[in-house]
Structure 1
Amino acid sequence: MAEVEATQAAQVDVSKTNSVPGEGYDKKCIFCKIVNNEMSTELLHSDDEVSCFRDIKPGAPHHYLVVPTKHVGNCKSLTKEHVPLVKQLVETGKEILQKNNITDLTDVRFGFHWPPFCSVTHLHLHVLAPASQMGFTSRLFYKLNSYWFITADQLIELLSSKGETN
């Protein structure tokens, strides 16, 4: 979906490829290349744990992707131990929104595409705001309670219940 265009539109910045990427880097992953400054994508946030950049095909006036700086598979591959990471992705998304004067967090959508409906296997949180201004197509791509999109809260609940006996 939106991530496919990132692969097509991003350009390699040869001047920034001299450093050797560390552990947790997948050389075939477009998001690993972005967080390692191998692409001409502007990083809005970057630290040892989490990075953030704009979606190449925004579904709302503010549409950001928040990703683990080290390669982590899609949301289906996560375990209970990843809950703090998911929470950190959300918190970083909130910080980016606040830096961009989005203070009404009730009109924001935080979520993930559920495999096989994600074209990049690097875990990435979609942060869309204001959700009320999403167009028709975006409302479908990022639809709540659908087979292809799961909110961050739903993912945290799902991961937290993994391994529990009923």
Structure 2
Amino acid sequence: MANSKKCVFCDIVNKVLVNGKETEILYEDETVVAFKDIKPATRHHYLVVPKEHLESPKTLTKDNLGLLNHMLEVGENVLVQQGFQSDNNKRFGYHWPPFNSISHLHMHALGNTEELGFFHKGMFMTGTPWFVSHQWLMTYIKQK
């Protein structure tokens, strides 16, 4: 269970009101929660967050590979459950420090990526120093 007192994602995991509102959890199990991004870049923009407070993708080890696989599976399922029906135009990734706005590991699950505006196309462009794909992260960790 998350335990950081100053982390908004830990608050969401612990069902604490954020900005006076309860976050609608779209999926929850013993290890992760998923919910809509507060500032969605597309119609289908969700976050998958581990309940354990892990600082960032940069700090992960091979011990975390199972968690990452589970996060991807949850992200895929949430996209489908929320009505996204294409195998194209989806993206799963992580902001890489220091370009992450919240220091709690979270995976972006984006559908309808053709809807990304100019700013968000850059923000969620994989292969950049600030946003890495799920697949890239898995390879990076395996090579550590």
**Residue in 1 that maps onto 2:125:** 143
Q: 1:107 aligns with which of 89, 96, 102?
A: 89
**Residue in 1 that maps onto 2:8:** 30
| Structure 2 counterpart SS, 1:93 | helix
Q: Which has the larger radius of gyration?
A: 1
**Residue in 2 that maps onto 1:43:** 25
| 2:104 pairs with 1:122 | yes
**Residue in 2 that maps onto 1:58:** 40
How far is the alpha carbon of 1:85 from its aligned partner?
A: 0.8
**Backbone CA RMSD of aligned residues:** 1.1
Letter in 2 for 1:102: F
For 2:92 and 2:71, how far apart are their aligned partners in 1? 9
**Residue in 2 that maps onto 1:20:** none
How far is the alpha carbon of 1:103 from its aligned partner?
A: 2.4
How far is the alpha carbon of 1:100 from its aligned partner?
A: 1.6
Q: Percent identity?
A: 39
Q: 2:116 aligns with which of 129, 134, 141?
A: 134
Moved over 2 A (4+): none
Gaps of 5+ in 1: 1-22
TM-score scaled by length of structure 1: 0.81
TM-score scaled by length of structure 2: 0.93
> 8 Å contact 1:35–1:51 — kept in the other structure?
yes
For 2:141 and 2:125, how far apart are their aligned partners in 1? 20
Q: What count of residue pairs does the alignment treat as equivalent? A: 140
> 8 Å contact 1:112–1:125 — kept in the other structure?
yes
How far is the alpha carbon of 1:26 from its aligned partner?
A: 0.8
| 2:64 pairs with 1:82 | yes
| Structure 2 counterpart SS, 1:137 | helix
> 8 Å contact 1:35–1:43 — kept in the other structure?
no
For 1:101 and 1:45, how far apart are their aligned partners in 2? 14
